[in-house]
Structure 1
Amino acid sequence: MILHDSKDIGARLRDERMRCGMTQDQAAAGCGIAKRTLANYEAGASDPSASFLSKAWAMGFDVPYVLTGARATAAKECLSAEEDVLVEQYRRIPEQDQRALRRFLKAMFDDASQ
């Protein structure tokens, strides 16, 4: 098992935040933590909590990459670049809007299959 230190985890966390197009303020607010706490995580001064990582995952962060340095590519390999962007956008909208999109897509699929 390869162990990674806090600075490695912090650097990858910063990479993921930037890949997701978020500022520290946005990521911290989305995960329910203070900006300073996120800055400490990214600097390697402290390790991110499980609660934070769970929320970051829901916002589209590749948490296995943050923790291990290995990208979670299996699912992404099946998606085109446009599909990947759509999935990331979908994950960032409120649950109510996600449900509405699922209903809309189901209706479109039902119409197309008739």
Structure 2
Amino acid sequence: MRKWYTLIMEKSDRQQKLGRRLKEERERLGMTQAAMASAIGVGRLTGIHYELGDRTPTADVLMRLREVGVDVVYVLTGDRPNEQFDISAMEQAVELMLDLVIKLEAQPDKHVMTQALLHFYRSILSQHSKLGSAPIAASTVEVD
């Protein structure tokens, strides 16, 4: 049988992780603690306690967080199963790549094209960062 303090520590660890993810989401949205608290209808100190893991948001607060753009599934689980990509940004990147290929009038190297695509995609994402879409992490892309 587990000891009571082990159960308390596990709960505390889960709350702290939830708080860290909530802070990540707030920062991803470019909001201050005060702005986030105001947007979800809680006091700034309550919002701070959520981020520290001292308090756990209620279901009602989680719904309001979702309404302001927080990925609540990520906050609760640490997973992003509904990862979304900004298709418009990808289409713009592909268009730029096609223009580059036409100007080169040759068969460019796969590595060069991949690096160029990542460069264009990142630059377009930085222009559209307020959309809240999840970019492809450059570290996950491998080139032969």
- What range is the shorter-chain TM-score in? 0.5 to 0.7
Aligned residue identity for 1:41: Y
Q: Which residue of 2 aligns with 1:44?
A: 53
- Distance (Å, rounded) in 2 between the aligned partners of 1:20 and 1:72: 19
RMSD of aligned residue pairs (Cα, Å): 2.2
**CA shift at 1:51, angstroms?**
1.2
**CA shift at 1:49, angstroms?**
1.1
Q: Give the length in aligned residue pairs.
A: 84
- Distance (Å, rounded) in 1 between the aligned partners of 2:77 and 2:70: 13
Aligned residue for 1:70, secondary structure, equals coil
Q: Which residue of 1 aligns with 2:64?
A: 55
**Identity, % of aligned pairs?**
35
Q: Which among 120, 127, 130 is matched to residue 85 of structure 1?
A: 130
- Distance (Å, rounded) in 2 between the aligned partners of 1:17 and 1:84: 14
Q: Which among 7, 18, 34 is matched to residue 9 of structure 1?
A: 18
Would you identify which runs of 4 or more consecutive aligned residues in structure 1 move more than 2 Å?
A: 77-86
Q: Which residue of 2 aligns with 1:24?
A: 33
Aligned residue for 2:64, secondary structure, equals helix
Aligned residue for 2:37, secondary structure, equals helix
TM-score in terms of structure 2 length: 0.52
Unaligned regions of 5+ residues in structure 2, if any?
A: 1-10, 90-124, 133-144
Unaligned regions of 5+ residues in structure 1, if any?
A: 89-114
Given that 2:29 and 2:130 are in contact with CA atoms closer than 8 Å, whether structure 1 keeps it comes out as no
**CA shift at 1:71, angstroms?**
1.2
TM-score in terms of structure 1 length: 0.64
Q: Tell which structure's C-alpha radius of gyration is larger.
A: 2
